[in-house]
Amino acid sequence: MKTLNEDSISYNFILYILSVFILIIFTSAEKSLAVCDYTTLSSSTAPRLWTELFDVTTQPITWQGSAIRDYEGASDPSQGATASGAEQIASCCKASGVGANCDILNCNPDLMDPAAAGCGTEPSAYYACDTFNPFDDTDDVHLFGIRVNGSPRDSADQFTQSNWNFLVDLDCNGIGDYSVILNGNTDLVEVYYDPVDNQANPADLINEYCACNAESLTTCTSGSDYSHARSTEIPACPGDGSQNEWIIELQVPVAGFVGGSAPGFTCSDAGLGVCIIKTTSNSLGDEVQKDLLVQCDDQTGVCDVTGIDPTPITLAYFKSEKTYGGVYFKWSTATEAGNAGFNIYTKEKDGMVLLNKNIIPSKSIDSLSPINYSYTYSGEEINIFYISDVDLKGKEKFHGPFDLGQSYGQKEKTERIDWTKINNEVNLKNQIKTENSRLAALSRTQSLKAKNSKLVTTSTSATEMQFPRALVSIGEQGIYRINYEDLLNIGLDLSGVAVSSLALTHKGIPQQVFISSADEVFGAGDYIEFVGDYIKTLYTDSNVYILEVNPENSERVSIDTKPLKQKAIFEQSYTEQLTIGNDNIYTFSSPIKDPWIDSRLFARPTTPVTKIYNFDLGNLASPKGGLLTGALWGITDWPFSPDHHITIKLNGVQIDDKIFDGLKLVELSADLNSLGISLLDRSNKLEILLPGDTQASFDIIDVDSFSLSYERNFIANNGKLVYTDRGDAFEVQNFTSSNIVIYSKNGSSVSKHTNIEVIQNTRTYSVKFTGDKNNDIQYHVFEEGSVLSPELEIAPHTSDLKTGQAQYLIISHPTFLNELNALIAEREKQYSVKLADVEAVYTEFNGGIFDPEAIRSYIDYAFNNLGTIHVLLVGGDSYDYHNYIGNSSLSFIPTFYGKTHNVVNYAPSDALIADLDGDSVQDVSIGRFPVRTSDELSNIIEKTLTYPLVSIQNAVFAADKDDGSISFSDDSDSLIQHLPYGWTVDKAYLEGSTVADAKAILIDSINGGRALTSFFGHSSFGIWTFSGLFNRTDAQNLTNFGLPTVVTQYGCWNSYFVDPSLNTLSHKFLLSGLNGAAAVTGPTSITQASSDRAFGDILMNNLFTGQTIGEAIKNTKKQLSSGFSRTDVIIGWNLLGDPALLITE
């Protein structure tokens, strides 16, 4: 067994908790402006544009679980300096008038000064670390911020003669290791390092930078974009305008913390945490005299550690059983995010003792579905255990203690989504819709022609008639043909329409087509031929064109009749590309524009791992040459080097051997010819080897895919060949028919080759034709029988999307369009209402292509032209848009995805659909009914309409047990304070209670009818708390029929709505029946407790001032975004419900 000691992974990472003290120094030295030598700035020390730092998550510095709000105007020296104005640290304290909020009794730090004005509601100081590129620590930037009264600048736009000092304590021992000073006397940002653990001030100046460090920026103007320091005027009190309060911010690249004996520290070392411990300097005679004083009461001298990284896992269940000669452990997780694996310990008098020889690897690393684990320990009898989850940096989070033979928590009972039933319903409705569209289109075209029988052959009359349009969908690159009869089958009768009026467009851009017709009008036996381009996005691989009767968009291909030259030189091969790898694993932490990867490799020192790809090429022109490219990235990030070692071989020859560090994207490129590697027509082998020899406990790498470029013969496959090349002439072989069609495409110009030479061979045909030796041209060579047929359907009507008013805009999947009448009737009592078919939105705003960008574009139009206030999306979503998993999940209305955490790059966010100006903050109230069936929609509509009729003023607040220094019950109590007078509250808190008692209070309260149900604590999308306070089964079994509640959830993942396999707790609250909830709101990602608290305090205030729930969420994000960056809730917080729902008048 291994004893956990000071050299262990866990202990080292504990030492890397970041502690920041905010101090202010007052001096009277003579002012002098430093002279900056800008030419010495390197990329490692140059300041970054402040606009590049928008996505960093700032953390308020906290004291006993709450953001520090410093006294203003303190006169007692023990409380800080007696200065005022720019030297006074602020907290948005407004003494009188509108927005007055000064509060002496509840200030913190809790050091009473009777002469002080009090404190306000805003955090006084914060810290952040911006990784910029998560795969490269060298571009990390440490950010420090402090709120002050008055402008910190003098009349010359330089800083005043005061110093703002930020102390960094890496090991939480109460002594500053670094000091970062904004020296107002010299306008320098100075970095000091103290190698000795004593109470003296930092002694060694290791770096200094001009505060405003750019050639074109020599003074510190408000909001300077490119400098090491900036001062920005901000509203002191939200909603109350400017109160002459300012934020001073410093940015120091990681290289600025290296020099002399200073080792430096990165974002990875600092984490997202801020640990505040007591200061020792508090007299007027001390040169580091401070306005802000933090002092703690506990014996260790360490105050609350808040803003820490959320646990990588949600542990749902743990049990140990005695077996012959040892112990059998089994546990399950509800979610995992950045989790490398587990260790199991027991505790002895000398410390923790590790029971497993090697780390027990995670089965997923990032997963939102329950995962079960087991491990058997063979050895002496042990009765108490701890389990730790190990994150990708090697840091451990401990759970326990657990007694032998006892069960803790509960295994999640999951419910798989019945996609067979859902698809049957959707398909049936779609068949009815298609038939109705066919009949309507047929009636329309026939009616038009009957009324205009003498005019239909002219282009002008064809346009005036406004014929129905057809959506033309394709799924691969190639030549496509639309027959007259195919159009007639979907109800589009174009007989007699002038050929010159027929047009094909792509996102509104006319496309060149070839029309085969015996005369000038379209009719039986005629067809339209075009070259279709393949697309693949996150959402679809179906490209869509629109066929319409519109002579203004009618364009034709050119006809290439150039004959073969007698001495034409025929090209012998072209460059083909083969993709090696599949989309097998969904990972929300993917750093690239695709969350699907091929494989995840996990190696340990005793267990190297090799991934082998076997592939054939077929019709290889030459074994020599070729280019192999690929992308992979490191997952683990240890505090030492190196983290990763990977070897790549092709056909037994080593291509590359890479050793690298951290969360780094590695793009491979290998010229096979220079490496002497020969390709094979069949049975090539690509090997990816992780030897596990980096001295780390494990090495984890994600492999996206590889691409091989090689020379291929001009051999058709299944009667077709598409390639890009330049050349005098080409000969393509291996056709089974002499009827061969050839198109070439150069940008938007398309030509049909008619002067071709077809040669009959023994069993096959080949074709020769003229090429272009000066340009790379894309050629499509198809035999007649292999020409492709697109999918056709009548395009939805779009004319009414832009008309009238739409204060309340419903965008629905067509499956549910006819089932919203009751909701529409109710909302029309207060708003102008418009119901839009989402497929019409795709057609009008994205050329028929499935993508949420079309929805955002329409909302933008409606917001600016139709008076839209609220948007309701009707239909669920699934992140498996391409059915990679294979369970035929459906996305009724797709959402956007955003980065909300350092391990979450793909958090579903309807808020981004409502972000109309690109600042990541929603601009319009938005909600979603995440329904998949008519019954689910009926249930949620009835509860939505019932909720306002329930005139009750009571709530139940649930909270997890405390986690270290984080008190979820205190956080919940803070939210309760915002309830209006007269509301009654039940509390279901785990702290100080049993799980059974808290659970009973929670369920009994909801069943009795509660207008509001709130939860604060650890969660997944299926459960509240590791202890099993509330889960999906509990939600389904609620009996509050006729008394629906509204649920607010402050935790991780709990409003996630895109899982393709499992129903979530939110789904069960909303869709199980007429019980449960009318609306559920919360994050769809990992959140920080500090973000939840800040969001909740503002949201609760907004909810009870007459705002609808959608408006309250939108306004909360607007208010929150004006201060610190909190993308975890600003992007990640979503509403599943009607945005127009009111909790109280």
Closest CA to 272 of 312, 309, 313: 309
**Residue 432 in 3-state DSSP?**
helix
Residue count (the chain)? 1145
Residues 976 and 1010 in one domain: yes
Tokens describing residue 1128: 């975890």
Residue type, 290: K
Beta bridge partners of 1125: none
Closest CA to 720 of 767, 675, 753, 770: 767
E strands, 170-271, in order:
178-183, 188-193, 204-210, 229-235, 242-253, 258-259, 262-263
HEC letters along 721-782: EEEEECCCEEEEEEECCCCEEEEEEECCEEEEECCCEEEECCCCEEEEEECCCCCCEEEEEE
Residues 74 and 195 in one domain: yes
Separation between Cα atoms, residue 1052 and residue 625, nearest integer Å: 50
Separation between Cα atoms, residue 631 and residue 665, nearest integer Å: 7
Separation between Cα atoms, residue 504 and residue 491, nearest integer Å: 18
Q: What is the per-residue pLDDT for 1001? A: 97
CA distances from 210 to 22, 36, 161, 625 (A): 21, 6, 15, 53
759 part of a folded domain:
no
Report yes or no: 394 and 9 within 8 Å, Cβ to Cβ. yes
Report yes or no: 792 and 729 within 8 Å, Cβ to Cβ. no
- Quote the distance between the C-alpha of residue 116 and its chain's center: 44
Q: 920 in the Ramachandran plot: left (φ > 0), alpha (ψ -120 to 50) or beta? A: left
Closest CA to 179 of 192, 170, 164: 192
Separation between Cα atoms, residue 191 and residue 1116, nearest integer Å: 37
E strands, 264-382, in order:
274-277, 302-306, 313-323, 326-336, 339-348, 351-354, 360-361, 371-378
Residues 966 and 1019 in one domain: yes
Tokens describing residue 1007: 């069943």
Q: How many folded domains does the chain comprise?
A: 5
Residues 317 and 302 in one domain: no
721 part of a folded domain:
no
Closest CA to 80 of 34, 139, 25, 13: 25
824 part of a folded domain:
no
Dihedrals phi, psi of 434, to nearest 5 degrees:
-60, -45
Of 306, 325, 356, which one is at a domain's C-terminal end? Answer: 306
CA distances from 63 to 292, 767, 1031 (A): 12, 80, 33
Q: What is the per-residue pLDDT for 181? A: 80
Report yes or no: 673 and 624 within 8 Å, Cβ to Cβ. yes
Residue type, 1046: V
HEC letters along 544-558: EEEEEECHHHCEECE
Q: Give the domain CATH number at 1041.
A: 3.40.50.1460
Domain that holds residue 606: 574-712
Q: Give the domain CATH number at 696.
A: 2.60.120.260
**Residue 14 in 3-state DSSP?**
helix
Tokens describing residue 986: 């039940």
747 part of a folded domain:
no
Residues 6+ apart with CB under 8 A from 551: 459, 460, 462, 463, 498, 500, 501, 503
Residues 132 and 103 in one domain: yes
Report yes or no: 126 and 145 within 8 Å, Cβ to Cβ. yes
Render pLDDT for 1074-1096 as a digit per residue (tens, 0 to 9): 999 999 999 999 888 778 888 99
Report yes or no: 628 and 679 within 8 Å, Cβ to Cβ. no
823 part of a folded domain:
no
**Beta-strand relationship, 258-259 and 262-263:** antiparallel
Cis peptide before 642 (omega within 30 of 0): yes
- Distance between the two ends of the chain, CA-based, in angstroms? 64
733 part of a folded domain:
no
Separation between Cα atoms, residue 169 and residue 751, nearest integer Å: 70
Tokens describing residue 15: 């030492």
Residues 646 and 530 in one domain: no
Q: What is the per-residue pLDDT for 194? A: 75
- Considering just the CA atoms, what is the radius of gyration of the chain in Å? 33
Separation between Cα atoms, residue 903 and residue 1124, nearest integer Å: 20
Residues 6+ apart with CB under 8 A from 829: none
485 part of a folded domain:
yes
**Beta-strand relationship, 1045-1050 and 1012-1016:** parallel
- Look at the block and give the residue holding tokens 């009264």: 149
Separation between Cα atoms, residue 120 and residue 235, nearest integer Å: 12
Rounded (5°) CA angle 383-389-391 = 160
Query: Residues 132-168, buried b or exposed e (16+ Cβ, 10 A)?
Result: bebbebebbbbbbbbbbbbbbbeeebbbbbbbbbbbb
Of 502, 526, 558, which one is at a domain's C-terminal end? Answer: 558
Closest CA to 304 of 280, 275, 332, 338: 275
Report yes or no: 1024 and 1017 within 8 Å, Cβ to Cβ. yes
238 part of a folded domain:
yes
**Residue 610 in 3-state DSSP?**
strand
Q: What is the value of pTM for the model shown?
A: 0.77
Residue type, 190: E
CA distances from 220 to 40, 188, 211 (A): 20, 11, 7
Report yes or no: 663 and 637 within 8 Å, Cβ to Cβ. yes
Separation between Cα atoms, residue 430 and residue 486, nearest integer Å: 19
Residues of the chain with pLDDT under 50: 1-34, 38-39, 76-84, 110-112, 199-202, 215, 271-310, 454-455, 1124
Residues 667 and 633 in one domain: yes
Other beta carbons within 10 Å of 421? 11
Query: Residues 353-370, buried b or exposed e (16+ Cβ, 10 A)?
Result: bbbbeebbbbebbbbbbb
Q: What is the per-residue pLDDT for 873? A: 99
Separation between Cα atoms, residue 472 and residue 803, nearest integer Å: 26
Other beta carbons within 10 Å of 945? 18
Closest CA to 1090 of 55, 5, 26, 60: 60
Report yes or no: 386 and 327 within 8 Å, Cβ to Cβ. no
Report yes or no: 370 and 359 within 8 Å, Cβ to Cβ. no
Of 558, 585, 620, which one is at a domain's C-terminal end? Answer: 558
Separation between Cα atoms, residue 688 and residue 649, nearest integer Å: 7
Separation between Cα atoms, residue 1027 and residue 954, nearest integer Å: 26
Residues 958 and 1028 in one domain: yes
Residues 385 and 288 in one domain: no
Q: State the DSSP H helix or E strand holding residue 407, giving kind and residue range, or none if neither.
A: strand 407-409
Residues 647 and 536 in one domain: no
Residues 332 and 212 in one domain: no
- Quote the distance between the C-alpha of residue 961 and its chain's center: 29
Residues 588 and 649 in one domain: yes
